[in-house]
Chain A
């Protein structure tokens, strides 16, 4: 087993463990810190899969942008620990049913689908800014513009929602 495989398994197991920590903590700020490290380990996985631009974007936008929004939200608002599971048993049963059905479906697909191929030999680095940018501006120009419109609408919506007088 090469160093490359060891690092991929390391980051993968780390992201799963940190993801479990995110959804089991009582305090929201602890969850936020665990989520930051989970996102960083996923960014490491992206670097190992030769998607360098996506790894950098993951660190800058996720760990630096989105998580700052979450931490600000938690800090601006009175921190409060919500009690654990105190729902009715019908709702718990329905929750378990939905989760088990979805897990069974995904496990079935993973077992059924045959993915025998291994990566080909890559001579060149592929996930560079140049490759991603030229593909984005040549083949995906209209989705790119729609994404900018989506960000504009989200910005206006956030300002409208958080005004004092609605």
Chain B
């Protein structure tokens, strides 16, 4: 049997990889993919607790997290299209004014 600690470490490592991607990358699409990695790290921890505590609640919360991820992906698609129409680049450092 795998101890719970190893699964918590795995979820934390995936979470930290996502944080690192958000911090160091400049391509906006890769930043959004790193956000998906962050959500997946949290999902791993929730499902591990759901298994080890013998409760279904962790899986319900993971389901809601996936719902939020879908909404976020759809909105980010619109944002990227609108951003590309104005600036014609992927670089997030060029996204520095607030008026369209």
A interface vs B, CB < 8 Å?
Answer: 2, 4-5, 8-9, 12, 15-16, 19-20, 22-23, 25, 28, 31-32, 35, 38-39, 42, 45-46, 49-51, 53-54, 57-58, 61-62, 65-66, 69-70, 72-74, 76-78, 80, 82-85, 87, 95, 98-99, 102-103, 106, 110, 115, 117-120, 122, 126-127, 131-132, 135-136, 139-140, 143, 147, 150-151, 153-155, 157-162, 166
Contact with A along B3-44 (1 / 0, CB 8 A): 111111110111111111101111101101110110010011
Question: Given that A82-B90, A87-B93, A120-B54 are contacting pairs, would A127 and B59 also be in contact in the complex, using a CB cutoff of 8 Å?
Answer: yes
- Contact A73–B80 (Cβ < 8 Å): yes
B interface vs A, CB < 8 Å?
Answer: 1-10, 12-21, 23-27, 29-30, 32-34, 36-37, 40, 43-44, 47-48, 50-52, 54, 56-57, 59-60, 62-64, 66-75, 77-82, 84, 88-91, 93, 100
Q: How far is the CB of A83 from chain B (nearest CB, A)?
A: 7
Contacts of A136 in B (CB 8 A): 60, 63
Q: Which of B32, B33, B47 lies in contact with A51, CB distance below 8 A?
A: B47
Question: Given that A22-B21, A35-B36, A126-B54 are contacting pairs, would A162 and B43 also be in contact in the complex, using a CB cutoff of 8 Å?
Answer: no
- Contact B19–A102 (Cβ < 8 Å): yes
Contacts of B23 in A (CB 8 A): 95, 98-99
Question: Given that A31-B30, A147-B67 are contacting pairs, would A135 and B75 also be in contact in the complex, using a CB cutoff of 8 Å?
Answer: no
Contacts of A62 in B (CB 8 A): 36, 40, 66, 69
Q: How far is the CB of A95 from chain B (nearest CB, A)?
A: 5
10 A-B pairs (CB sep. < 8 Å): A23-B20, A23-B25, A23-B37, A70-B33, A99-B20, A118-B52, A119-B54, A127-B56, A127-B59, A158-B77
- Contact B5–A115 (Cβ < 8 Å): yes
- Contact B52–A119 (Cβ < 8 Å): yes
Contacts of A115 in B (CB 8 A): 3-5, 8
Q: A83-B26, A119-B54, A161-B82 are in contact. List 10 more A-B contacts (CB 8 A).
A: A15-B40, A20-B17, A35-B36, A53-B59, A62-B66, A99-B19, A110-B5, A143-B64, A151-B67, A166-B100
Q: Which of A70, A98, A155 lies in contact with B32, CB distance below 8 A?
A: A70
Contacts of A72 in B (CB 8 A): 77
Question: Given that A99-B19, A117-B4, A147-B67 are contacting pairs, would A77 and B74 also be in contact in the complex, using a CB cutoff of 8 Å?
Answer: no
